[in-house]
Structure 1
Amino acid sequence: MDKAKCILFTVFIAIVVFCHSGDAIRCYTCEQSPVVCRTNVTCTHEEDVCLQIRFLHLRTYSCWKSSRCIWKEVADEFHADSFRFLCCYKDLCNKSPSFLAASATAFSITAVTVLWMVYQ
Structure 2
Amino acid sequence: MIKMNCVILTACIVLVAFCSCGYTLRCYHCENSPSLCKTNSTCLATEDTCLQMKFGKLRTFSCWKASQCSVNDIAEFFQLDNFEFFCCQHDLCNESTITRVNKAAFSIASVMTMLWMLL
Structure 1 length-normalised TM: 0.78
Q: Which residue of 2 aligns with 1:46?
A: 46
For 2:107 and 2:97, locate their aligned partners in 1 and report how far apart those are by CA, in whole Å.
18
For 2:32 and 2:15, locate their aligned partners in 1 and report how far apart those are by CA, in whole Å.
35
Whether the aligned pair in 1 keeps the contact of 2:33 and 2:59 (CA below 8 Å) is yes
Aligned length: 117
For 1:17 and 1:36, locate their aligned partners in 2 and report how far apart those are by CA, in whole Å.
27
For 1:96 and 1:21, locate their aligned partners in 2 and report how far apart those are by CA, in whole Å.
26
For 1:48 and 1:57, locate their aligned partners in 2 and report how far apart those are by CA, in whole Å.
26
Q: Displacement of 1:14 after TM fit?
A: 4.0
Q: Which residue of 1 aligns with 2:115?
A: 118
- For residue 59 of structure 2, give the secondary structure of its aligned residue in structure 1: strand
- Deviation string, structure 1 residues 61-93 (Cα, Å, up to 9, x no partner): 001112211111100111111111111111111
Structure 2 length-normalised TM: 0.79
Q: Runs (4+) of structure 1 moved beyond 6 Å?
A: none
Structure 1 runs not aligned, ≥5 long: none
Whether the aligned pair in 1 keeps the contact of 2:14 and 2:107 (CA below 8 Å) is no
Q: Displacement of 1:56 after TM fit?
A: 3.0
Q: Displacement of 1:110 after TM fit?
A: 6.7
For 1:61 and 1:95, locate their aligned partners in 2 and report how far apart those are by CA, in whole Å.
8
Identity of aligned residues (%): 44
CA-atom RMSD, angstroms?
Answer: 2.6
